[in-house]
Amino acid sequence: MAAAMTGAVDLAAVKARSDAAARAATAPPPAQGGYVVDVTEANFQTEVLDRSFQVPVLLDLWAEWCEPCKQLSPLLEKLAIEAAGQFVLAKVDVDVNQQIAQALQVQSIPTVFAVIGGQPVPGFQGAIPEAQAREVIVAVLEASAKAGLTGVAPRPEGVEGEPVVPELPEDPRFSAAEQALEEGDYDRATERYQEILLAEPANADAKLALSQVELLKRLAALPEDTLTRAQASPDDVELQLAAADYELAGNEIDQAFARLIGLIKRLRGDERTPVRDRMVEYFELIGPDDPRVNPARRELANALF
């Protein structure tokens, strides 16, 4: 039955998650006492769903006859042991546990899910190289940290040493861009980041880096008397944009925001477009978590509309 009103909460689901979290808080260690567990329909609730309220669970669905599984499973086991309890690898033989595979709508194997706080999240299908598997694990650990999971799976007897935090392999494309940036060659750094975006238009890191380079290029061209000149010409758009860059670079973020919003209020029509775009660029550079961003977004919207 559909909810009677927008925003209605499924209280039954909330209670189920709460009960699972409570069970997880007092749950015994994984059945094998380690970081890799064999999961069946009988222990799926405790070893996967309940456990996922303590640490993220990586669900590896496999079968004896599956050749790619024979490549992927040992790799995931190795990474689980390296991570030393930062996540649990739960292995499910789909031939023996068909109900689990059906519930997860598994179409082919190997298939990997992440389970965080009782919620399964699709991961990937097929065997993947180690570098890509490490990327997946880093993403899972980051997501679990945001979800507030702070537990660590118990260490098996006889295992020594500290956890190995998975690290993303260095991307040579970014390395080339960063090298150019260190050398002060902004044009070459711009070209390198643009090449990344040409291949991956949705690459958020490259987008942010490109905006940072563009800001650095503008700052390098600013004369020392930028603020004085801007004060003398309050309606000169280019001068006001330059002054805002100068203030942003000096961590005078509120002043930069106020300058541009005030300018937008004095302008009309298409004249406001470059100022609005510069504000949006600042929001992306500073980041949505900065407490000054949301109020400035509201002020921008009020000034525009």
Which residues are tagged catalytic? 66, 69
Phi, psi of 197 (to 5 degrees): -70, -30
Amino acid in position 296: A
Q: How far is CA 30 from CA 23, 52, 257, in A?
A: 13, 11, 53
d(CA 4, CA 64): 48
Tokens coding 123: 């991961």
Question: 186 — phi, psi (to 5°)?
Answer: -65, -35
Closest CA to 56 of 72, 42, 41, 76: 76
- Reduced DSSP (H G I as helix, E B as strand, rest coil) percent helix, strand, coil of the chain, to 5: 55, 10, 35
